[in-house]
């Protein structure tokens, strides 16, 4: 046991010193729940709080292109950053990781940028407990900043906001007509909005509309940036805002931590639920007389303790 403990301490020290192999191994262990990962997570020193920037928004809004431009800008400022791309393993997004690899290809040779992806498995585009744990491992390394990209579908914007220090919601001018339907809840999760693809028609009108809405909802402090991610236009200003230190009220910090704890508990409780087995159990019973989904769920507790 003592030997094991020493090894973990050394491992964490290596991660902290910027050893990429040690980091990559820790991330793989944590992602796949391999034995010492639980201990590793419990020993990591979180006092060095690397800021996490969440970048979310609808599919194809240009998030990866923007992250690539941000990475260029920040590494020019001699900052070291990690990018975690949350890749939904949904059939709708099949191949998006390949796309990201192309869009961020430049960064793969950039020694100041570390890129890693994480599959979300079942939770369509959502942020899994694994994402939280991997972000914590990245925090133990020597990055100045961590960027996490997630596709905004369903709950995921809210989830990402729970673990990022600043969340940026990326939209495109075409979203202008739908913006009325953006619930005020969504307004609350973002600390900044980006209207990307500002080379397209309607960008100014949309950005103004957004600003007006924010004012009306008393969110005057939330900036709206216009960018053309493909050409790195507007990115300098966005990066300066990203680097600005903000002090959050304790109340907000606790709310965010509670959200984080909630997700970790959820992951822990759902750990033994095997979807394939669930489907086969359901297939066996669905045609039985008196089949009832609620009774079925009650019985499942015995199958997935």
Ligand X SMILES: Nc1nc2c(ncn2[C@@H]2O[C@H](COP(=O)(O)OP(=O)(O)OP(=O)(O)O)[C@@H](O)[C@H]2O)c(=O)[nH]1
30 in Cβ contact with 133 (< 8 Å): yes
Instruction: Give least dist CB 68 to Mg ion, A.
Output: 10
Which one of ligand X, Mg ion, none interacts with residue 60, CB within 5 to 8 A by kind?
ligand X
Of 62-70, 177-185, 198-206, 267-275: span binding Mg ion (CB under 5 A): 62-70
Residue whose CB is less far from ligand X, 37 or 65: 65
Choice from 64, 123, 131, 263 touching Mg ion (CB under 5 A): 64
Instruction: Give least dist CB 61 to Mg ion, A.
Output: 9
Q: Please name every residue paired with 147 in a beta bridge, in sequence order, or none if there are none.
A: 53, 83
Which one of ligand X, Mg ion, none interacts with residue 210, CB within 5 to 8 A by kind?
none
Which one of ligand X, Mg ion, none interacts with residue 253, CB within 5 to 8 A by kind?
none
Residue whose CB is less far from ligand X, 30 or 151: 151
Instruction: Give least dist CB 63 to Mg ion, A.
Output: 5
Residue whose CB is less far from Mg ion, 41 or 74: 74
11 in Cβ contact with 21 (< 8 Å): no
Instruction: Give least dist CB 132 to Mg ion, A.
Output: 20
Structure token digits, residue 301: 């507790």
Residue whose CB is less far from ligand X, 64 or 123: 64
DSSP letter for 247, please. Answer: P
Structure token digits, residue 207: 């950005």
Instruction: Give least dist CB 9 to ligand X, A.
Output: 37
Beta strands at 52-57 and 113-119: parallel, antiparallel or unpaired: unpaired
Which one of Mg ion, ligand X, none interacts with residue 199, CB within 5 to 8 A by kind?
ligand X
141 in Cβ contact with 21 (< 8 Å): no
Q: Which residues form the interface with ligand X (CB under 6 A)?
A: 59-65, 93, 96, 99, 103, 151, 196-197, 199-200, 228-230
65 touches Mg ion (CB under 5 A): no
Q: How far is CA 186 from CA 49, 158, 168, 216, 244, in A?
A: 26, 7, 11, 15, 22
The residues, any chain, with a CB within 8 Å of residue 2's CB and separated by 6 or more, are none
Residue whose CB is less far from ligand X, 50 or 65: 65
Residue whose CB is less far from ligand X, 210 or 228: 228
Residue 27 phi/psi, 5° resolution?
-65, -40
Structure token digits, residue 52: 């996490």
The residues, any chain, with a CB within 8 Å of residue 181's CB and separated by 6 or more, are none
Residue whose CB is less far from ligand X, 18 or 99: 99
Strand order in the sheet with 145-151: 113-119, 81-87, 145-151, 52-57, 166-171, 192-195, 224-226
Which one of Mg ion, ligand X, none interacts with residue 130, CB within 5 to 8 A by kind?
none
Tell me how far apart the alpha carbons of residues 268 and 303 are, in angstroms, rounded to a whole number: 16
Which one of ligand X, Mg ion, none interacts with residue 62, CB within 5 to 8 A by kind?
ligand X
Contacts with Mg ion, residue ranges (CB under 5 A): 63-64
């Amino acid at each position: 046991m003592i030997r094991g403990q020493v090894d973990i301490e050394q491992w964490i020290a290596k991660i902290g010193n910027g050893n990429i192999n040690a980091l990559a191994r820790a991330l793989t262990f944590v992602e796949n729940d391999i034995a010492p990962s639980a201990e590793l997570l419990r020993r990591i020193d979180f006092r060095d709080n690397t800021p996490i920037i969440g970048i979310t928004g609808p599919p194809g809004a240009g998030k990866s292109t923007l992250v690539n431009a941000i990475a260029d800008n920040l590494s020019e400022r001699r900052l070291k950053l990690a990018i975690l791309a949350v890749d939904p393993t949904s059939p709708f997004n099949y191949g998006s990781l390949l796309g990201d690899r192309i869009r961020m290809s430049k960064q793969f040779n950039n020694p100041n940028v570390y890129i890693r992806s994480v599959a979300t498995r079942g939770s369509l585009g959502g942020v899994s407990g694994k994402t939280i744990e991997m972000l914590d491992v990245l925090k133990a390394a020597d990055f100045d900043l961590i960027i996490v990209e997630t596709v905004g579908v369903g709950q995921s914007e809210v989830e990402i906001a729970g673990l990022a220090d600043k969340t940026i919601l990326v939209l495109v001018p075409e979203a202008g007509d739908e913006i009325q339907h953006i619930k005020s809840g969504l307004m609350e999760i973002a600390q900044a909005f980006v209207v990307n693809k500002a080379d397209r028609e309607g960008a100014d009108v949309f950005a103004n509309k957004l600003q007006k809405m924010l004012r009306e909802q008393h969110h005057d402090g939330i900036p709206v940036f216009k960018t053309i991610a493909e050409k790195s236009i507007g990115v300098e200003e966005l990066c300066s805002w990203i680097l600005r230190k903000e002090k959050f009220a304790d109340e907000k910090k606790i709310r965010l931590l509670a959200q984080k704890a909630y997700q970790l508990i959820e992951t822990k409780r759902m750990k033994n639920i095997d979807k394939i087995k669930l489907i086969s159990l359901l297939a066996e019973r669905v045609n039985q007389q008196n089949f009832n989904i609620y009774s079925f769920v009650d019985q499942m507790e015995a199958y997935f303790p």
